[in-house]
Amino acid sequence: MLELTKAATFFASILSLYWAALGAFFIPGLHWQERLFLALARLCLAAAVCLLSGLLFRLPVRTNPDAHLPLTATLPMQLFFWAAPILTLLFLASWYLTCGAPTFTTHYPACS
């Protein structure tokens, strides 16, 4: 039963990070400040889901071989530690290319 719960919470971690990525890049018509706020809020919720999943991964049960691992070494937390900086860099790159790149001479409406 523990293995099924681990798989379900890990899948929830993946979905929450996917939801954070969608909110960062694919909401049309929002200003970049609103997208930033929504992306940070969704990333915080994804961190909470990954943290809860990581706590479940190191649940001290006799049949759990990963119970001795530190929280940061569990699979959901490692996934979050890789995904969060990548999403941040991609968001900053998209903001720069949309609003701050010197090649754009016209003013993009979502940047004001």
**Is the predicted pLDDT of residue 104 greater than 60, yes or no?**
no
User: What number of helices (H) and strands (E) belong to the chain?
Assistant: 3, 0
User: Percentage of the chain surpassing pLDDT 70?
Assistant: 88
Residue 95: name the closest of 51, 39, 46 by CA: 39
31 in the Ramachandran plot: left (φ > 0), alpha (ψ -120 to 50) or beta?
Answer: beta
Q: What is the pLDDT of residues 44-76, one digit of tens each?
A: 999 999 999 999 888 887 777 777 888 899 899
The model's pTM: 0.83
Residues 24-35 have a mean pLDDT of 76
**Is the predicted pLDDT of residue 18 greater than 80, yes or no?**
yes
Dump the DSSP string for 32-55.
HHHHHHHHHHHHHHHHHHHHHHHH
* Alpha-carbon span 89 to 84, nearest angstrom: 9
